[in-house]
Amino acid sequence: MLTPPELNQQFSSPAERAAAQAELQRLGEFLREVVAAASGTAPVPGWLAAELQRPLHGHSEPPGERLARYHTVFGDELHALDDVLSSETENRLDDDSLRAARYLARRLLATLLDCPPSEVSHRLPARPG
Protein backbone atom coordinates (compact mmCIF):
# COMPACT_ATOMS: atom_id res chain seq x y z
CA MET A 1 0.00 0.00 0.00
CA LEU A 2 1.51 3.30 -1.07
CA THR A 3 -0.74 5.77 0.66
CA PRO A 4 -2.28 5.97 4.11
CA PRO A 5 -5.32 3.70 4.51
CA GLU A 6 -8.63 5.10 3.31
CA LEU A 7 -6.86 8.18 2.03
CA ASN A 8 -9.15 8.63 -0.94
CA GLN A 9 -12.37 8.08 0.97
CA GLN A 10 -14.55 11.01 1.86
CA PHE A 11 -15.69 11.37 5.44
CA SER A 12 -19.23 10.06 5.61
CA SER A 13 -20.54 12.89 7.76
CA PRO A 14 -19.47 16.15 9.38
CA ALA A 15 -19.50 14.32 12.71
CA GLU A 16 -17.01 11.73 11.46
CA ARG A 17 -14.77 14.51 10.20
CA ALA A 18 -15.03 16.42 13.46
CA ALA A 19 -14.08 13.27 15.38
CA ALA A 20 -11.01 12.81 13.18
CA GLN A 21 -10.02 16.44 13.76
CA ALA A 22 -10.46 16.06 17.50
CA GLU A 23 -8.36 12.87 17.54
CA LEU A 24 -5.63 14.56 15.51
CA GLN A 25 -5.58 17.53 17.86
CA ARG A 26 -5.38 15.27 20.91
CA LEU A 27 -2.63 13.04 19.53
CA GLY A 28 -0.84 16.12 18.26
CA GLU A 29 -0.74 17.61 21.74
CA PHE A 30 0.97 14.48 23.08
CA LEU A 31 3.48 14.56 20.23
CA ARG A 32 4.19 18.22 20.88
CA GLU A 33 5.03 17.30 24.46
CA VAL A 34 7.42 14.65 23.17
CA VAL A 35 9.17 17.16 20.91
CA ALA A 36 9.38 19.76 23.68
CA ALA A 37 10.84 17.21 26.09
CA ALA A 38 13.32 15.91 23.53
CA SER A 39 14.38 19.46 22.67
CA GLY A 40 14.79 20.35 26.32
CA THR A 41 12.31 23.23 26.14
CA ALA A 42 9.93 21.56 28.59
CA PRO A 43 10.21 18.88 31.28
CA VAL A 44 9.35 15.29 30.44
CA PRO A 45 5.65 14.86 31.28
CA GLY A 46 4.60 12.08 33.60
CA TRP A 47 2.97 9.86 30.97
CA LEU A 48 6.09 10.00 28.78
CA ALA A 49 8.45 9.37 31.68
CA ALA A 50 6.48 6.23 32.52
CA GLU A 51 6.61 5.01 28.92
CA LEU A 52 10.33 5.63 28.61
CA GLN A 53 10.96 3.49 31.69
CA ARG A 54 9.43 0.42 30.05
CA PRO A 55 11.78 -1.96 28.30
CA LEU A 56 11.42 -1.80 24.53
CA HIS A 57 11.59 -5.11 22.64
CA GLY A 58 13.17 -6.66 25.70
CA HIS A 59 15.96 -4.09 25.86
CA SER A 60 16.40 -1.39 28.44
CA GLU A 61 17.78 1.94 27.35
CA PRO A 62 18.29 5.11 29.39
CA PRO A 63 15.08 7.18 28.99
CA GLY A 64 16.94 10.27 27.82
CA GLU A 65 18.78 8.33 25.14
CA ARG A 66 15.65 6.66 23.91
CA LEU A 67 13.83 9.97 23.68
CA ALA A 68 16.72 11.60 21.82
CA ARG A 69 16.93 8.66 19.43
CA TYR A 70 13.18 8.80 18.76
CA HIS A 71 13.44 12.50 18.03
CA THR A 72 16.32 11.86 15.65
CA VAL A 73 14.68 9.02 13.74
CA PHE A 74 11.23 10.64 13.46
CA GLY A 75 12.23 14.30 13.47
CA ASP A 76 10.99 15.03 9.94
CA GLU A 77 7.62 13.43 10.61
CA LEU A 78 7.19 15.23 13.95
CA HIS A 79 8.05 18.53 12.31
CA ALA A 80 5.61 17.95 9.46
CA LEU A 81 2.83 17.14 11.89
CA ASP A 82 3.57 20.24 13.91
CA ASP A 83 3.27 22.28 10.70
CA VAL A 84 -0.07 20.69 9.93
CA LEU A 85 -1.42 21.29 13.42
CA SER A 86 -0.29 24.91 13.31
CA SER A 87 -1.84 25.53 9.91
CA GLU A 88 -5.06 23.76 10.82
CA THR A 89 -6.02 26.56 13.13
CA GLU A 90 -5.70 29.00 10.22
CA ASN A 91 -6.89 26.94 7.28
CA ARG A 92 -9.21 23.98 7.25
CA LEU A 93 -7.36 20.82 6.32
CA ASP A 94 -8.64 18.97 3.28
CA ASP A 95 -9.88 15.44 3.91
CA ASP A 96 -6.81 13.71 2.46
CA SER A 97 -4.44 15.75 4.62
CA LEU A 98 -6.54 15.19 7.72
CA ARG A 99 -6.58 11.43 7.18
CA ALA A 100 -2.85 11.35 6.45
CA ALA A 101 -2.01 13.48 9.48
CA ARG A 102 -4.15 11.39 11.81
CA TYR A 103 -2.62 8.17 10.51
CA LEU A 104 0.88 9.61 10.87
CA ALA A 105 0.17 10.74 14.45
CA ARG A 106 -1.20 7.31 15.38
CA ARG A 107 1.79 5.53 13.88
CA LEU A 108 4.33 7.82 15.55
CA LEU A 109 2.77 7.32 18.96
CA ALA A 110 2.33 3.58 18.37
CA THR A 111 6.06 3.30 17.75
CA LEU A 112 6.87 5.28 20.87
CA LEU A 113 4.44 3.31 23.04
CA ASP A 114 5.28 0.01 21.32
CA CYS A 115 1.65 -0.88 20.68
CA PRO A 116 -0.63 -1.24 17.63
CA PRO A 117 -1.91 2.09 16.22
CA SER A 118 -5.45 1.11 17.11
CA GLU A 119 -4.53 0.99 20.81
CA VAL A 120 -2.77 4.34 21.00
CA SER A 121 -5.76 6.33 22.19
CA HIS A 122 -6.45 3.87 25.05
CA ARG A 123 -2.82 3.83 26.18
CA LEU A 124 -2.60 7.57 26.58
CA PRO A 125 -4.05 9.47 29.54
CA ALA A 126 -7.17 11.54 29.05
CA ARG A 127 -5.15 14.72 28.74
CA PRO A 128 -1.52 15.55 28.03
CA GLY A 129 0.66 16.84 30.81
Interface residues toward other proteins, by CB under 8 A: 1-5, 7, 56-57, 59, 61, 66, 69-70, 73-74, 76-77, 80-81, 83-84, 87, 91, 94, 96-97, 100-101, 103-104, 107, 111
Nearer to other proteins, 35 or 81 (CB): 81
Nearer to other proteins, 35 or 100 (CB): 100
Q: How far is 70 from 123, CA to CA, in rounded Å?
A: 18
In the complex, the smallest distance separating the C-beta of residue 35 from other proteins, rounded to whole angstroms, is 15
Q: How far is 75 from 35, CA to CA, in rounded Å?
A: 9
Spatial neighbors of 3 by CB under 8 A, at least 6 apart, are 100
R_g of the chain computed on alpha carbons? 15
Nearer to other proteins, 79 or 125 (CB): 79
In the complex, the smallest distance separating the C-beta of residue 81 from other proteins, rounded to whole angstroms, is 8
Alpha-carbon torsion angle 31, 84, 103, 16, nearest 10: 110
